[in-house]
Amino acid sequence: MCGIVGILGKHEAAPILVEALKRLEYRGYDSAGIATVNDGVLDRRRAVGKLVNLSDLLVHEPLLGKAGIGHTRWATHGAPTVSNAHPHRAGPIAVVHNGIIENFRELREELAASGFSFVTETDTETIALLTQKYMTDGMAPVEAAHKTLSRLDGAFALAFLFEGEDDLLIAARKGSPLAIGHGDGEVFVGSDAIAMAHLTDQITYLEEGDSAILTRTSVEIRNADGEIANREKRTIQIDQTRVDKAGHKHFMAKEIAEQPTVIGEAIRHYLAADGSKIALPDPGIDFTQFDRVVMVACGTAYFACMTAKYWFEQVARLPVEIDIASEFRYREPPVGGRTLALFVSQSGETADTLAALRYCEGKASKIVSVVNVPESSIARESDVALPILAGTEIGVASTKAFTCQLTVLLMLALAAAQQRGEIAEDTLSQHLADLRALPGLLNATLDREPTLRDAAHNLSKARDILFLGRGTMYPLAHEGALKLKEISYIHAEAYAAGELKHGPIALIDNKVPVIVMAPRDALFDKTVSNMQEVMARDGKVVLITDKAGATEASDGVWETAVMPDVPPLLAPILYALPAQLLAYHAAVAMGTDVDQPRNLAKSVTVE
């Protein structure tokens, strides 16, 4: 993870770097730091914890200079301490790094043998020391940096700054994204275009293995072979509006509340103008060309894939294989022709998902991504990138991106069914009418918040919680458990309701609440039988169901939350909301940092 920025500007760099880091804090918030060169003198400031701590430090210990680099950290090697915080410095070099240097132990040994000593536990320090070594050997900064780059294994995005050089930045990428921003007599570097959106809309994305030598008036990019490379300069459109909480206590609360609106927009985007059929944006996807779909993602996006498997198989009769990206990328799965490889990612930068996509290049007949950030690496490297239109998601716990992913995936499954002749016209029309009515049902679901808040207060006293579901409620149970774990730190697990008696039922006693997600659908009676088995063993059940389900099954249940009636196909989208609200209110009751929970980052750019 980690976010990096750099600037060769006309104004004092420190406040501009801090503003850019604010935009990158979603990548990590364990520590932050900046370094500048002022009249040739290199200096730095670093602080543990969130960016606000660095801003406070800069008030008391300002840093002058119009050239600088900055970093916000998600710790990989070494605890979040000041000495492990970036920028790392060795003599005349300061460097910021996103990624992992896999051969850092060998490099450390080599440097130690040459008499260099280490003051941090990081892999990054080896980069600074190696560059210092080459400069001590007589190399100029550019040559020393390139020599260093040639020694590094692993994934990285780097920016180097040098003492005595007020007009030089060196940037490089391999495996981690990095972009260059072009200003008027200024130049910028950032982990993504959003970091520089307050400075420029003229962006060049570095490609794998590229390095760039930057001055205020020149940008020289070289490819992995050291040859001069021409990379396209694009004009990007990024919403400049600073995102705020719009009166909510947390971004997560705001993002939960936005769902009826953003889902409504996503539905409109994928419907033909007359609303009679699904219309995929150009260049479209021809589903008659595929025999199967392989869907790959991480975390919440993976649970969106898990849900979509039910839809594609039931509605479009198209076999779907799903996998977690970190497993998929290394198990060498056969991906023949006539396979649609589909990658789902909010950020579009998740390292494992991107690696899985690259694995499929040249193997699958088409690579499609479902992303929230249209300028992201995953979007740019796909044959077709389908936007989910959720708008900026700030809360680390994904909410509106999940339900927008579900919405787009459902519409994709319906498009596949439509093209493959697997769905009758009137059935499709009914589904589309149901989709148009969905935002209203989601608003009605949000009205159930007080009941869910009360249930969450009771749940917040538990140490362990189980989630149960069948059919499309099974992936939802996983999503509910993940949401609860990541923001309330309560241990939660999900099981397919029918699987409980094969082991997990041994966990049940009156201290382990069990959340059962069960609309009154074709599988309801089966799930209720499993719920009875829990209650027969003193288990305390929270039942999330609809009116008919509550009437039939709430006897003996600890708490019942009644959702609006929803057509079964759309139930996963609607039932995501109570799962999110339970987690949110449990976390608020526990007093955790809801939007930036411990140990996590919004975008996971390391494997």
Q: Which residues bind ligand M6R (CB under 6 A)?
A: 298-301, 345-347, 350, 353, 396-398, 482, 486, 603-604
Set 2, 305, 360, 404: catalytic member? 2
CB of residue 362 to ligand M6R, shortest distance in Å: 23
199 vs 517, which CB is nearer to ligand M6R? Answer: 517
Q: Which parts of 64-189 fold into alpha helices (H)? A: 104-113, 124-136, 141-149
- Of 4 and 305, nearer to ligand M6R (C-beta) is 305
Question: Nearer Cβ to ligand M6R, position 398 or 592?
Answer: 398
Amino acid at 280: L
d(CA 41, CA 123): 25
Is 602 catalytic? The answer is yes
Among 254, 309, 483, 602, the active-site one is: 602
- Cβ proximity to ligand M6R: between 356 and 534 the closer is 356
CA distance 349 to 191: 10
In the block, residue with structure tokens 């780097």: 158
Beta carbon of residue 354, minimum distance to ligand M6R (angstroms, whole number)? 9
Tell me how far, at minimum, the Cβ of 379 lies from ligand M6R, in Å: 12
CA dist 476 to 371, 402, 468, 472, Å?
Answer: 20, 11, 9, 7
Rounded least distance, CB 405 to ligand M6R, Å:
8
Q: Which is nearer to ligand M6R, 74 or 312 (CB)?
A: 74
Spatial neighbors of 341 by CB under 8 A, at least 6 apart, are 293, 294, 296, 335, 357, 360, 363, 364, 366, 367, 368
Q: Beta-carbon neighbour count of residue 521 at 10 Å? A: 21
Q: State the nearest-atom distance from the C-beta of 299 to ligand M6R, in Å.
A: 2
**Shorter beta-carbon distance to ligand M6R: residue 187 or 397:** 397
Nearest residue (beta carbon) to ligand M6R: 299
Distances (CA, A) of 20 to 34, 166, 178, 361, 553: 11, 20, 14, 33, 53
The contacts of residue 500 (CB under 8 Å, 6+ apart) are 468, 530, 533, 534
Beta strands at 67-73 and 3-8: parallel, antiparallel or unpaired: antiparallel
Q: Which of 347, 301, 309, 346 is nearest to 325 (CA)?
A: 301
Residue 370 and residue 344 in contact, taking contact as beta carbons nearer than 8 Å: yes
Q: Could you tell me the smallest distance in angstroms from the CB atom of residue 100 to ligand M6R?
A: 17
2 in active site: yes
* Secondary structure (3-state) at 387: strand
Cite the active site residues.
2, 602
